[in-house]
């Protein structure tokens, strides 16, 4: 399969349409992106949007966040999704390798990602590409939803 990995520099209807097709394959709760949301992704200082392009069009996406923190520049890979019809052909590996190259070139000290345990094939790929599981607890706060603080 002839695949090119491209860094997206401008929002387009093609990118919006690709997200509309691909994000539901990643998450059943994915919110559709409009052109303004895609524009924020590609023009933001902290994000790099990559797409995998095959002759038939965009078959995968990855977002790399580069976060300048007091402890140093950190990379974070988010929303890796490959179209079901293109899986098993190295698309995700190519996207991740390019994200790693960009992060290294930017001077990132580390690149992290998270993956649900049931995504066995993806987790094997990440390990094969050099990612190592960390002993960590991930906490999530949904803004606007609060628990009892006791105060």
pLDDT tens profile 17-67: 999 999 999 988 888 899 999 999 999 999 999 999 999 999 999 999 999
In a domain, 120, yes or no: yes
Whole-prediction pTM value? 0.89
Using alpha carbons, list the distances in angstroms from residue 54 to 8, 34, 60, 100, 115.
15, 23, 9, 21, 25
Q: What is the rounded average pLDDT of the residues 143-149?
A: 74
CA pair distance 70, 10, nearest whole angstrom: 30
* Domain of residue 68, CATH code: 3.40.630.30
Output the pLDDT for position 65: 98
In a domain, 149, yes or no: no
Question: DSSP assignment, residue 88?
Answer: T
pLDDT band at 149 (very low <50, low <70, confident <90, very high): low
The C-alpha angle with vertex 78 and arms to 143 and 54, in degrees rounded to 5, equals 140
In a domain, 56, yes or no: yes
Q: What range does the domain containing 57 cover?
A: 4-128
Q: Helix and strand tally (H, E) in the chain?
A: 4, 5
In a domain, 67, yes or no: yes
Report residue 116 as tokens: 């649900």
> Could you give the number of structural domains in the chain?
1
CA pair distance 60, 49, nearest whole angstrom: 11
Output the pLDDT for position 151: 47
């Amino acid at each position: 399969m002839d695949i090119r990995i491209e860094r997206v520099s401008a929002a387009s209807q093609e990118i919006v349409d690709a997200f509309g097709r691909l994000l539901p394959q990643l998450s059943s709760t994915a919110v559709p992106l409009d052109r303004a949301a895609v524009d924020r992704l590609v023009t933001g200082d902290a994000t790099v949007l990559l797409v995998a392009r095959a002759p038939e069009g965009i078959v995968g996406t990855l977002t790399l966040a580069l976060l300048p923190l007091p402890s140093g520049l950190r990379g974070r890979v988010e929303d890796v999704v490959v179209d079901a019809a293109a899986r098993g052909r190295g698309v995700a590996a190519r996207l991740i390798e390019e994200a790693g190259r960009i992060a290294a070139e930017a001077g990132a000290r580390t690149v992290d990602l998270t993956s649900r345990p049931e995504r066995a094939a993806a987790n094997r790929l990440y390990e094969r590409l050099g990612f190592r599981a960390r002993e960590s607890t991930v906490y999530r706060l949904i803004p606007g939803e609060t628990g009892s603080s006791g105060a």
